[in-house]
Amino acid sequence: VKPCWILCAFLFSLSRSDGEEQVGQGEQKSSPARPSFGKKQLPSIPKNAVPITKAASPAPSTQSANGTHASYGPFYLEYSLLAEFTLVIKQKLPGIYVQPSYRSALMWFGVIFIRHGLYQDGVFKFTVYIPDNYPDGDCPRVVFDTPVFHPLVDPVSGAGVRRAFTKWRRNHNHIWQVLMYARTVFYKINTMDPLNPEAAVLYDKDIQLFKSKVVDSVKLCNSHLFDQPKIDDPYAISFSPWNPAVHEEAKEKMFAHKRRPEDYNKGLPVSGLSWVKPGSTQPFSKEDNPLQT
Amino acid sequence: MSWLSRLNPRGPGTRTGRHAAPTSPCTADPETCLMVFENHWRQVSRVLKQRESSVGGYADDLTAVRNHTDQMLCLLAEERPAGGDIDSPVGPILKMVVAENILDELVQWHVRRGLDPDSQLELLKLFEMLIGQSHQPLLLHSAVLQPLLNLLGACVDPQLGSPPALESSLVLLLNQVCVCMAKETAVLELIFRCGLVQQGPTNLLIFSLLVPFIHRDGSLGQQARDALLLVMATSASNHSVARHIAENSYFCPVLATGLSALYSSLPRKIEVRGDDWHALRREDWMAVSSLVLFMNSLEFCNAVVQVAHPLVRCQLLDYLHNGFLVPVMGPALHKSSVDEMIASTAYLDLFLRSITETSLLKTFLRFILLHRHDNDTILDTLLTRISSNSRLCMVSLSLFKTLLSLNCEDLMLQLVLRYLLPCTHVMLSQRRAVRETDLYGKSADKFLSLIPECCRITPAPSSERDDEPAFWGKVLGSPTSESPVHPRPSTPSRLALFIRQQSSGGQAIPPSSGSENAPSSPRGSVSSPLSPDSPVHQLPDTSEGETGYLEYLRDARKGIELCSWACRDWSAPYDGENPSPNSAPPPPPPPTSHPSLNMVQEHFSIMDRPQQRGAVVAAARAEWSSSDRDSGEWDVTISKNCISLTPRSKKRSLLSSSIPLQSSSSASVSTEMTGAVETVSQHSHSAPHTALYNGMGQVELTDSVDEKMEVKKVKRDSDVNNSMVESGMNGSMGIGSVDYNDFHVGSTMKSSQVQVKPHLQHQTSVPTSTQECLESESQRLSPVPALTETSTVPCDSRGPESVERLIEELLERAPSEPLTGDSKCQGISIEAFHQELRELEERVRERRVLSRSSEESSREYRTAPTPSLTDEDCLPVEIEQRSSETKPESYATGVFSPARPLGPPLAQPYTGPFITVLFSKLESMMQNSLYVNILLTGVVFQLACYPQPLLRSFLLNTNMVFQPSVKSLIQVLGSVKNRIEAFAATHEDFPAMLRKARRFLVARGKLDWSDSPIGVPTLRRSDSLIKSRKPSLGDLILRHTNSPTRARHAAQLALAHVRDGGQSLHSALFRGGAAGGASGLEKQAEALRVKNAVYCAVIFSEFLKELAALAQEHSVALPFPPSQGAEE
């Protein structure tokens, strides 16, 4: 089984974390045309997938009137989302993993691991829906697969978080902030303007009961962990019990993996040439050359 | 370099058969063998014992000894080590040899009776056989080793070296010894100690015997080098041997200075094969024996550096720097003849590409970056060459491409980053934005929007089989259609889809994407090729669609990935904060003040006085905001501390050109402009030089109807004051001041310009010498010497009236012109011919204008020339006078402005000579030859792959606001776009020409793979123009075939193709040529001008896509973590 790419994509976060969430890291369904190991990019659209761009409304970034280079429009949306995703990766959000869906770059699957606090040990799967007029639309929606008991999570739909970004401002707001916020609410509970008034009231009035409800909710969520993903998508995150035969190798690969350029092996003659002493801007300021030993 | 692994098969194993006599008794049991051996030995020792009685010896004795010895040594060689005894697994024969010191006695006997060359040879061969074939580690026994050393000592005179007859046997023997040594490291120690006892300080005889053969050619040299390398590798861990090599042997000095000697025998002039030639490929130099020799030795150096002990390595590098680079390469790169400059630049490029060892590269880079030759670093010198005539420019661009591909921090620091570090080029408020990535594709959009309207191909009605809708459209149109899915393991996700979608229109993509640029390719472009079998190129005219964008994205991704991978160990991120802009040392000022510097200055207008600067800046800013980059005009301003490019509108320059030169200090922008214009006209009128010097298309005429009309008008109203100035500007130099660049190479801008000035001085005194020097100049510069020569004569001696005659003469001459006599050159020389014609025509035209306006114009010069001079003479004289009167360091000031500079302006942002020269070259894209543009855009592409935010934001962030005096890439491109559109507007058949040009380029791109069955791997895709844009023709032809005949055949085919393509294009251009039909010459010149412009339009559009793709890929690129020491 080829290790799934998302794991590599999050290698940064992983290598930082203490590895607590090995509890059955998602083993993914194999999917056609899976990108090679180490790809950080959005997965391919399967051949029969409906592409995310709105057929009707042209991409917002192609205002060009003449329309000749409007054909590049799709690239802009794709790349904007790719760039957002890259930002997420660079942020190294602790305990959060996301992966764009196989079918649409506008839908990302995610999972959040809560490591302490009231929701400790919670593992909440969620889906991020990005409006198709991104980045000019609303804030992306975060919907939890199982509505966790939380003042800011709708007990029925599981929707949450959105409130934090009343107005989505391109260049200022990024998807990683949404994810970050989604994580924060489980550590710092805020009852203002709740989506689940019951939880909010309980938190303010009867913290003990709230706590026990939370514990129940966390248990409930975790009991559904190994369920089939709600959305049938090759790249949906699915959990399975730890199976050394499957996971051990994948885990090792994840930890051992070093991202390399695609053509790394094909004659990249010399690389990393630098004799500049850190802090200096003079060439050949490094006294001794550690590059050659 | 797999030198060592290459050596392995050379072990004794492969050499059996030579001495493996079928009658060999070795098959017999060891007992018998020993008995036979003893028997032989008895016979021999009987002879040896007789030595006292007969000193001279009898021939019979010698023969007998030889025969027996042969047999004995064969037996010894064939003997297997004793199986049972583990402690001393020595066969019985060897045991006996050791015990009785048989070999020593034999050698002693030979030595005593006087070794004649014949028996020396015999013995050497015997020993070689013995050591090469023995199954036992013989050399571990001093009973074998010692006689061997004695023999060697006897054979070789310490002073004279070895006799030539012995050389091959000697080297072979030494080689064998070294092979043994490599297998049994103890042997080295033993040899070393034996030597120590015997020879004293000059021990390690084996080693010192090999050193003289280091630079030999042929297999002899190769064997010697192999052997030496083995010694190096074996001694790498042996400190005392290494010290001995470093201190007591001549190894390093011989190696390094040998390179110098070999370099000096390299051709000074590289026979140029085509007008796209710009770098030495393996195929090029394999045929040049001196170069082969040099490269062998260089590769050997590389290998030694790779394997040798650090002591030896350091010493060698030291010697290379001080014994080869500084005393030989340095001066070679500064030679004054263009041919030599071209050759030395190409050599340096080749060397850099061939070296693989980091520390050797460091030595070279150190030399290039830090060594000062006549006050200038090698880098400075090389930089100036980019703006020179086309061949030198191409070779230099190629060299810089190689340099950029090294991804070396030190280099990039010197070249670009140190100028960007202080962040003075951005507005203060923008500094933050340096690190921002272009999240929403704004920059990409901007780049793409610069594709000229006229280049957006509307499919030709008939020829288009598929009208290339957007890929996405296809997807949308058939969301459920089953496009064939080809598992392409390495395809980056989404892109794979696009490609698949594309292919659904065509046919399946065979999953053969393993192509790669050969690392040895001169165009080791970071972007590596895709499978050329992408279906699209099978369609007739798809290249005219925009199919290429995906490929560009992929190329961009690869380029960025490789680059950021290679830069991951840099000392700093260069993101505008680290290193801090405040702590960064001020970058060096533009090198204007070195009289010795052969720097190609851009135009000098007077920007010295602060108030002037203020005015200019304000004006520029105002213009900028109003005209929104519509103006294609720029002033390149050079003052003490900066070269800056300032926007200038056409209107303004026209206006200013009508103002006569003022020496008043009421300096304003227009004064400066006038100065600029003045200079331009000056230089454009020093026609022969400039025209020749600029080679490709630098003397281009107009870029718009208006300007052309201007010229014509000027011709009519030639009595108008200043008309010359105007015509000079609008005619020759209307393109923009950037063009000065090239002019100044060849013109006497400064006395420092060694190239031309002497000639000009001659001109004043001896008019006829002008012609001579022109001729010589042209011969040097021109690929078609004869042609130029003839053209010069009538031009100088007869004047404008004889133009028609001259043309006739030329045309007459041209066909029979003895080019290189090689059929394959014809296609190319046609180009050259056109070039010549065009330049000539240029001169003629200028002369015409001049002849009518020279009187008027002459009084514009402060140093009025003697009125009695004829038209032909007056110009050079003017120039001469000007140049002689002018102080070198402040030419413009001296002539045009009485005011001396008050001092360098404060911290004027300067983005460095590299950026400046690249941008100005880019700005003159319309006039550049196709090949210059291909290389040029390739270099910029490579530069834009660098992930460092400072560089990336400078080149690719189109939203950045720079200081007004700082030119941005987008501005440069904008001006090129305007020119292309203006050009297209004046040529109604532009779309047709564009299609033809594209088709030609695609065909050119296809050449490489269509011809050779094995040639596919190194190529880029052929469906898009990029491919044809990148590698040179010669490269394409020659890269994939090693057989010279096949290569030649391919070349002929290809060149025929090109010729056809070129000519059909030409004819097409002719038909539509707007030259007005005054003369065939003008037509042809016009045609060439049009051709360059049309090709430029194609390249330009593709280049923009490339930049857009880079901008997009940068926004999604992930950095690589540093490698943390020795991780690979």
Spatial distance between the Cα atoms of B191 and A76, rounded to a whole number of angstroms: 70
Quick one: angle between helices B390-405 and B930-945, nearest 10? 20
User: Which of B1093, B1091, B1094, B1073 is CA-nearest to residue B1082?
Assistant: B1073
Q: Which residue among A69, A135, A277 sits closest to B571, beta carbon to beta carbon?
A: A277
Q: Is the pLDDT of residue B228 over 80?
A: yes
pLDDT of res. B130: 87
Tell me the sheet residues that pair with B161.
Answer: B157
To the nearest whole angstrom, how far is the Cα of A125 from the nearest Cα of chain B? 24
pLDDT: is B187 or A1 the higher one? Answer: B187
Q: With an 8 Å Cβ cutoff, are A62 and B445 in contact? A: yes
Measured distance CA(B602)–CA(B643) in Å, rounded: 8
Model pLDDT for residues B400-450, shown as the tens digit of each residue? 999 999 999 999 999 999 999 988 898 888 888 888 888 888 899 999 999
Q: Phi, psi (5° rounding) for residue B635? A: -105, 130
Query: How do residues A154-195 score in pLDDT, each as one tens digit?
Result: 888 888 766 677 788 888 899 999 999 889 889 988 888 888
Q: pLDDT value at position A263?
A: 65
Residue of B nearest to A172 (CA): B439
A79: closest chain B residue by CA: B1112
- Can you spell out the DSSP letters for B662-693? --SS---HHHHHHHHHHHHHHHHHSHHHHHHH
Sort out which chain A residues have CB atoms less than 8 A from B485's CB and list them. Answer: 32-33, 47
Smallest CA–CA separation between A119 and chain B, in Å? 32
* Residue B123 backbone dihedrals phi, psi, to 5 degrees: -65, -45
Which positions ≥6 away from B510 have C-beta within 8 Å? Answer: B531, B533
CB within 8 Å of B247: residues ≥ 6 apart:
none
**Which has more pLDDT, A282 or B662?**
A282
- A121 CB-side CA count, 13 A: 9
What whole-number distance in Å separates Cα of residue B714 and Cα of residue B545?
Answer: 42
* Residue pLDDT, tens place only, A130-147: 998 888 888 898 999 889
Interchain contact, B441 vs A289, CB within 8 Å: no
Contact B1089, B834 (CB under 8 A): no
Give chain A positions within 8 Å (CB) of B421: 281
Flag if B1115 and A79 touch (Cβ within 8 Å): yes
CB contact (8 A) between residue A273 and residue B414: no
B1107-1123 pLDDT, tens per residue? 999 999 999 998 888 87
Q: Which of B366, B409, B448 sits opposite A69 (nearest CB)?
A: B448
**Does residue A113 have a pLDDT over 50?**
yes
Sign of the four-CA dihedral B776, B777, B783, B788? negative
Q: In this predicted model, what pLDDT tens digit does every residue of A244-291 receive, in sequence order? A: 998 999 999 988 888 887 766 655 555 568 899 888 888 898 876 444
Rounded Cα–Cα distance for residues A86 and A41 (Å): 8
The answer to whether A89 contacts B1118, with C-beta atoms less than 8 Å apart, is yes
Concatenating the DSSP letter of every residue in chain A gives: -PPPHHHHHTHHHHHHS-SGGGTTPPPPPP-TTPPPTT--SPPPPPTTPPPSS-SSSPPTT---SS-GGGGGHHHHHHHHHHHHHHHHHHHT-TTEEEEE-SS-TTEEEEEEE--SSTTTT-EEEEEEE--TTTTSS-PPEEEESS--S-TTB-TTT-EESGGG-SS--TTT--HHHHHHHHHHHHHS---SS-SSHHHHHHHHH-HHHHHHHHHHHHHHHHHTTTSPPSS--TTS-------IIIIIHHHHHHHH-----TTTTS---S-----PPTT--STT--SS-TT--
CB atoms within 10 A of CB B476: 17
pLDDT at B101 over 60: yes
Chain B residues with beta carbon closer than 8 angstroms to that of A281: 413, 417-418, 421, 579, 584-585
Is A109 in contact with A247 (CB distance < 8 Å)? no
Q: Residue A89 CB: number of other CB atoms within 10 A?
A: 19
Neighbours of A279 (CB within 10 A): 12
**Pairwise CB contact (< 8 Å): B479 & A48:** yes
Q: What is the pTM of this model?
A: 0.66
- Residue reference for tokens 């690249």: B918
CA-based nearest distance A164→chain B, Å: 22
**Dist CA B681 CA B689 (whole Å):** 13
Cα–Cα distance for residue pair B594/B888, rounded to 1 Å: 9
Asked whether B1113 and B952 are in contact (CB, 8 A), the reply is no
pLDDT (mean) for B1089-1100: 92
Which range among A125-129, B179-183, B612-616, B960-964 shows the weakest confidence by mean pLDDT? B612-616
Judging by beta carbons within 10 Å of its beta carbon (0-12, 13-18, 19+), is residue B189 exposed, middle or buried? middle
Q: Of B781, B1091, B1103, which is closest to residue B933 (Cα–Cα)? A: B1103
pLDDT 10s digits, B37-60: 888 888 888 887 775 555 555 667
pLDDT given at position B104: 86
- Determine the residue among A72, A77, A130, A292 to mutate to test chain B binding: the one whose Cβ has the most chain B Cβ atoms within 10 Å: A72
Higher pLDDT, B677 or B159: B159
More confident residue, B725 or B33: B33
Higher pLDDT, A74 or B939: B939
Six-digit token pair at B431?
A: 């500094």
ipTM: 0.79
Q: Which candidate from A44, A262, A280 shows the least CB-CB separation from B558?
A: A262
Residues 6+ apart with CB under 8 A from B990: B454, B983, B984, B1094, B1097
Span B543-582, pLDDT tens digits: 334 457 888 999 999 999 989 888 988 999 999 888 888 8
Question: Residues B837-876: pLDDT tens digits?
Answer: 455 445 545 544 444 444 333 333 333 333 333 333 333 3
Rounded-to-integer distance, Cα A143 and Cα B911, Å: 50
Chain pair A-B, CB pairs under 8 angstroms: 237
Beta bridge partners of B672: none
Give the pLDDT band (50/70/90) at residue B196.
Answer: low
When pLDDT is averaged across residues B383-400 and rounded to a whole number, the result is 91
Residues of chain B positioned with their CB less than 8 A from the CB of A293: 1126
CA B257 to chain centre: 24
Query: What is the length of chain B?
Result: 1128
The answer to whether the CB atoms of B448 and A72 lie below 8 A apart is yes
Question: What separation in angstroms does the CA of B289 have from each of B261, B265, B292, B296?
Answer: 14, 10, 5, 10
What was the pLDDT predicted at B48? 79
Inter-helix orientation angle B767-781/B785-797, to 10°: 160
Which of A122-126, B278-282, B1070-1074 shows the lowest per-residue confidence on average (mean pLDDT)?
Answer: B1070-1074
Asked if residues B1005 and B1027 have their Cβ atoms less than 8 Å apart, the reply is yes
Q: CA angle B915-B394-B1109, nearest 5°?
A: 55
Contact by Cβ (8 Å): B575, B488: no
- pLDDT tier at B160, thresholds 50, 70, 90: low
The minimal CB distance from B487 to the residues A33, A40, A278 is found for: A33
| pLDDT for the residue numbered B31 | 81
Q: Using CA atoms in the order B1035, B1037, B1043, B1045, what is the torsion angle rounded to 10 degrees? A: -130
Q: Are B1087 and B834 in contact (CB under 8 A)?
A: yes
Q: What percent of chain A has pLDDT over 90?
A: 32
